[in-house]
Chain A
Amino acid sequence: SQELEQSPQSLIVQEGKNLTINCTSSKTLYGLYWYKQKYGEGLIFLMMLQKGGEEKSHEKITAKLDEKKQQSSLHITASQPSHAGIYLCGADYRPGAQKLVFGQGTRLTINP
Protein backbone atom coordinates (compact mmCIF):
# COMPACT_ATOMS: atom_id res chain seq x y z
CA SER A 1 0.00 0.00 0.00
CA GLN A 2 1.03 3.57 -0.59
CA GLU A 3 2.96 5.25 2.24
CA LEU A 4 1.45 8.61 1.37
CA GLU A 5 -2.14 8.69 0.15
CA GLN A 6 -3.58 11.70 -1.61
CA SER A 7 -7.25 12.33 -2.27
CA PRO A 8 -9.05 12.94 -4.43
CA GLN A 9 -7.02 11.80 -7.42
CA SER A 10 -8.96 14.13 -9.65
CA LEU A 11 -11.06 17.18 -8.93
CA ILE A 12 -13.16 19.39 -11.18
CA VAL A 13 -14.58 22.56 -9.69
CA GLN A 14 -16.37 25.64 -10.91
CA GLU A 15 -14.33 28.81 -10.94
CA GLY A 16 -14.86 30.72 -7.71
CA LYS A 17 -15.57 27.64 -5.61
CA ASN A 18 -13.50 26.44 -2.68
CA LEU A 19 -11.78 23.08 -2.65
CA THR A 20 -9.70 20.84 -0.41
CA ILE A 21 -7.06 18.23 -1.19
CA ASN A 22 -5.95 15.76 1.45
CA CYS A 23 -2.69 13.95 2.09
CA THR A 24 -2.54 11.11 4.63
CA SER A 25 0.57 9.34 5.84
CA SER A 26 0.75 5.81 7.20
CA LYS A 27 3.30 6.99 9.78
CA THR A 28 4.25 10.17 11.61
CA LEU A 29 5.72 12.84 9.40
CA TYR A 30 8.80 14.89 10.09
CA GLY A 31 7.98 17.40 7.36
CA LEU A 32 5.28 17.73 4.73
CA TYR A 33 5.73 19.63 1.47
CA TRP A 34 3.14 20.78 -1.04
CA TYR A 35 4.07 21.27 -4.69
CA LYS A 36 2.16 22.26 -7.80
CA GLN A 37 2.97 20.95 -11.26
CA LYS A 38 1.70 21.87 -14.67
CA TYR A 39 1.73 18.65 -16.69
CA GLY A 40 5.07 18.21 -18.44
CA GLU A 41 6.75 20.88 -16.37
CA GLY A 42 8.73 21.11 -13.18
CA LEU A 43 7.39 21.29 -9.66
CA ILE A 44 6.74 24.59 -7.95
CA PHE A 45 7.23 24.60 -4.19
CA LEU A 46 4.16 25.93 -2.37
CA MET A 47 4.56 25.37 1.34
CA MET A 48 6.25 23.27 3.97
CA LEU A 49 4.70 22.20 7.27
CA GLN A 50 6.57 20.66 10.16
CA LYS A 51 4.87 21.34 13.45
CA GLY A 52 1.73 19.55 14.58
CA GLY A 53 -1.24 21.87 14.14
CA GLU A 54 0.71 24.20 11.89
CA GLU A 55 -1.12 26.23 9.27
CA LYS A 56 0.36 28.35 6.50
CA SER A 57 -1.24 30.52 3.86
CA HIS A 58 -0.08 32.07 0.64
CA GLU A 59 -2.54 34.15 -1.33
CA LYS A 60 -5.62 31.94 -1.61
CA ILE A 61 -3.97 28.69 -0.66
CA THR A 62 -3.89 27.40 2.93
CA ALA A 63 -2.15 24.26 4.09
CA LYS A 64 -2.60 22.58 7.46
CA LEU A 65 -0.89 19.75 9.30
CA ASP A 66 -2.84 17.89 11.96
CA GLU A 67 -1.68 17.56 15.56
CA LYS A 68 -0.64 13.95 15.08
CA LYS A 69 1.44 14.91 12.05
CA GLN A 70 -0.07 12.25 9.84
CA GLN A 71 -2.50 14.24 7.76
CA SER A 72 -2.30 17.46 5.81
CA SER A 73 -4.86 19.38 3.80
CA LEU A 74 -4.51 21.99 1.11
CA HIS A 75 -7.41 24.39 0.77
CA ILE A 76 -7.96 26.79 -2.10
CA THR A 77 -10.43 29.61 -1.64
CA ALA A 78 -12.32 31.17 -4.56
CA SER A 79 -10.52 29.04 -7.14
CA GLN A 80 -9.23 30.59 -10.37
CA PRO A 81 -8.13 29.07 -13.68
CA SER A 82 -4.52 29.71 -12.65
CA HIS A 83 -4.95 27.18 -9.85
CA ALA A 84 -5.39 24.34 -12.32
CA GLY A 85 -2.65 21.73 -12.34
CA ILE A 86 -1.38 18.73 -10.41
CA TYR A 87 -0.89 19.09 -6.69
CA LEU A 88 1.59 16.79 -5.01
CA CYS A 89 2.38 16.27 -1.36
CA GLY A 90 5.83 15.06 -0.39
CA ALA A 91 7.00 13.75 2.96
CA ASP A 92 10.14 13.65 5.08
CA TYR A 93 10.09 10.96 7.76
CA ARG A 94 13.22 11.83 9.71
CA PRO A 95 15.47 14.83 10.32
CA GLY A 96 18.07 15.29 7.65
CA ALA A 97 16.26 12.97 5.27
CA GLN A 98 17.15 13.94 1.76
CA LYS A 99 14.68 12.16 -0.44
CA LEU A 100 10.97 12.80 -0.41
CA VAL A 101 8.17 10.29 -0.64
CA PHE A 102 5.39 11.60 -2.88
CA GLY A 103 1.67 11.04 -2.93
CA GLN A 104 -0.07 10.05 -6.14
CA GLY A 105 -1.03 13.62 -6.95
CA THR A 106 -4.36 15.39 -7.42
CA ARG A 107 -5.28 16.68 -10.84
CA LEU A 108 -7.27 19.90 -10.44
CA THR A 109 -9.40 21.30 -13.25
CA ILE A 110 -11.13 24.65 -12.92
CA ASN A 111 -14.15 25.18 -15.14
CA PRO A 112 -15.02 28.76 -16.11
Chain B
Amino acid sequence: GAVVSQHPSRVICKSGTSVKIECRSLDFQATTMFWYRQFPKQSLMLMATSNEGSKATYEQGVEKDKFLINHASLTLSTLTVTSAHPEDSSFYICSARDPRGLNQPQHFGDGTRLSIL
Protein backbone atom coordinates (compact mmCIF):
# COMPACT_ATOMS: atom_id res chain seq x y z
CA GLY B 1 0.00 0.00 0.00
CA ALA B 2 0.91 3.65 -0.25
CA VAL B 3 3.49 4.90 2.19
CA VAL B 4 3.13 8.56 1.21
CA SER B 5 -0.33 10.06 0.97
CA GLN B 6 -1.10 13.32 -0.84
CA HIS B 7 -4.34 15.25 -0.68
CA PRO B 8 -6.27 16.53 -2.53
CA SER B 9 -5.74 14.72 -5.81
CA ARG B 10 -7.36 17.47 -7.82
CA VAL B 11 -8.20 21.10 -7.24
CA ILE B 12 -10.02 23.52 -9.50
CA CYS B 13 -10.37 27.06 -8.24
CA LYS B 14 -10.60 30.68 -9.24
CA SER B 15 -7.64 32.97 -9.75
CA GLY B 16 -6.56 34.65 -6.52
CA THR B 17 -7.44 31.71 -4.30
CA SER B 18 -4.85 30.12 -2.02
CA VAL B 19 -4.64 26.36 -2.20
CA LYS B 20 -3.16 24.00 0.39
CA ILE B 21 -1.82 20.57 -0.50
CA GLU B 22 -0.97 18.01 2.18
CA CYS B 23 1.68 15.32 2.10
CA ARG B 24 1.75 12.64 4.78
CA SER B 25 4.18 9.83 5.46
CA LEU B 26 2.09 6.88 6.61
CA ASP B 27 4.52 4.27 7.86
CA PHE B 28 7.49 6.33 8.94
CA GLN B 29 8.58 9.66 10.33
CA ALA B 30 10.11 11.97 7.76
CA THR B 31 12.23 14.88 8.90
CA THR B 32 12.58 15.82 5.25
CA MET B 33 10.04 15.81 2.47
CA PHE B 34 10.31 17.08 -1.09
CA TRP B 35 7.94 19.02 -3.30
CA TYR B 36 8.08 18.71 -7.08
CA ARG B 37 6.25 20.31 -9.93
CA GLN B 38 5.63 18.61 -13.24
CA PHE B 39 4.56 20.29 -16.46
CA PRO B 40 2.86 18.28 -19.22
CA LYS B 41 5.23 15.90 -20.95
CA GLN B 42 8.13 16.99 -18.78
CA SER B 43 10.09 15.52 -15.92
CA LEU B 44 9.84 16.39 -12.26
CA MET B 45 11.27 19.72 -11.18
CA LEU B 46 12.29 19.95 -7.54
CA MET B 47 10.74 23.03 -5.98
CA ALA B 48 11.81 22.81 -2.37
CA THR B 49 12.96 20.62 0.48
CA SER B 50 10.66 20.67 3.47
CA ASN B 51 12.47 20.40 6.80
CA GLU B 52 10.65 19.47 9.98
CA GLY B 53 10.97 22.20 12.58
CA SER B 54 12.86 24.62 10.36
CA LYS B 55 12.52 26.64 7.20
CA ALA B 56 12.16 24.99 3.86
CA THR B 57 15.00 25.12 1.37
CA TYR B 58 13.86 26.44 -1.99
CA GLU B 59 15.45 25.71 -5.34
CA GLN B 60 16.68 28.57 -7.46
CA GLY B 61 13.89 30.39 -9.21
CA VAL B 62 11.11 29.19 -6.91
CA GLU B 63 9.30 32.02 -5.12
CA LYS B 64 9.14 31.23 -1.42
CA ASP B 65 6.34 33.75 -0.86
CA LYS B 66 4.27 32.15 -3.58
CA PHE B 67 4.83 28.55 -2.48
CA LEU B 68 4.65 28.39 1.30
CA ILE B 69 5.86 25.19 2.89
CA ASN B 70 5.15 24.10 6.43
CA HIS B 71 6.52 20.92 7.98
CA ALA B 72 4.83 21.05 11.35
CA SER B 73 5.17 17.41 12.31
CA LEU B 74 7.28 14.39 11.45
CA THR B 75 4.54 12.99 9.23
CA LEU B 76 3.04 16.04 7.57
CA SER B 77 4.25 18.69 5.16
CA THR B 78 1.98 21.20 3.47
CA LEU B 79 2.46 23.27 0.34
CA THR B 80 0.29 26.36 0.01
CA VAL B 81 0.09 28.06 -3.35
CA THR B 82 -0.80 31.61 -2.40
CA SER B 83 -2.96 33.83 -4.58
CA ALA B 84 -2.84 31.26 -7.34
CA HIS B 85 -2.98 32.33 -10.97
CA PRO B 86 -3.46 30.32 -14.18
CA GLU B 87 0.31 30.00 -14.65
CA ASP B 88 0.44 28.09 -11.35
CA SER B 89 -1.70 25.36 -12.86
CA SER B 90 0.37 22.21 -12.81
CA PHE B 91 0.84 18.78 -11.30
CA TYR B 92 2.42 18.95 -7.84
CA ILE B 93 3.88 15.86 -6.20
CA CYS B 94 5.61 15.21 -2.90
CA SER B 95 8.05 12.56 -1.78
CA ALA B 96 9.76 11.30 1.34
CA ARG B 97 12.35 8.74 2.19
CA ASP B 98 12.06 6.28 5.06
CA PRO B 99 15.09 7.03 7.27
CA ARG B 100 15.17 3.51 8.69
CA GLY B 101 17.69 1.33 6.90
CA LEU B 102 20.24 2.23 4.27
CA ASN B 103 19.52 3.20 0.69
CA GLN B 104 15.78 3.44 0.94
CA PRO B 105 14.04 4.78 -2.17
CA GLN B 106 12.04 7.98 -2.26
CA HIS B 107 8.34 7.22 -1.98
CA PHE B 108 6.00 9.51 -3.87
CA GLY B 109 2.46 10.65 -3.28
CA ASP B 110 -0.10 10.31 -6.05
CA GLY B 111 0.18 14.00 -6.89
CA THR B 112 -2.22 16.92 -6.99
CA ARG B 113 -3.50 18.36 -10.22
CA LEU B 114 -4.07 22.07 -9.72
CA SER B 115 -6.15 23.99 -12.23
CA ILE B 116 -6.60 27.73 -11.79
CA LEU B 117 -9.38 29.30 -13.82
Using a CB–CB cutoff of 8 Å, the interface residues on chain A facing chain B are: 31, 33, 35, 40-43, 45, 48, 50, 88, 90, 98-100, 102-105, 107
B97 within 8 Å of A by Cβ? yes
What CA separation (Å) do A45 and B109 show in the bound complex?
A: 11
**Given the known A-B contacts A45-B105, A48-B105, A90-B106, are A99 and B42 also in contact in the complex, defined by CB atoms under 8 Å?**
no
B contact residues vs A (CB 8 Å cutoff): 6, 32, 34, 41-44, 46, 49, 91, 93, 95, 97, 103, 105-111, 113
A88 vs B46: C-alpha distance when bound (angstroms): 14
**Candidates B42, B49, B91, B107; contact of A104 at CB < 8 Å:** B42
Q: Is the beta-carbon distance between A42 and B97 smaller than 8 angstroms?
A: no
Minimum Cβ distance to chain B for residue A71 (Å): 18
Number of A-B contacts (CB under 8 A): 48
B113 to chain A: closest CB distance in Å? 6
Contact A40 B32 (CB under 8 A): no
The majority secondary structure among interface residues of chain B is strand
Q: Are the C-beta atoms of A31 and B42 separated by less than 8 Å?
A: no
Rounded to whole angstroms, the CA-CA distance of A31 and B105 in the bound complex is 10
Q: Are B107 and A45 in contact (CB under 8 A)?
A: yes
Q: Contact between A98 and B43 (Cβ–Cβ < 8 Å)? A: no
**Contact with B46, one of A31, A99, A103, A104 (Cβ below 8 angstroms):** A99
Are A43 and B49 in contact (CB-based, < 8 A)?
no
A residues less than 8 Å from B111 (CB atoms): 40-42
**Apart from A42-B6, A98-B34, what are 8 other A-B pairs with CB-CB below 8 Å?**
A41-B110, A42-B108, A43-B108, A45-B105, A45-B106, A98-B97, A99-B46, A107-B41
| B43 in contact with A105 (CB, 8 Å) | yes
CA of A45 to CA of B107 in the docked complex: distance in angstroms? 7
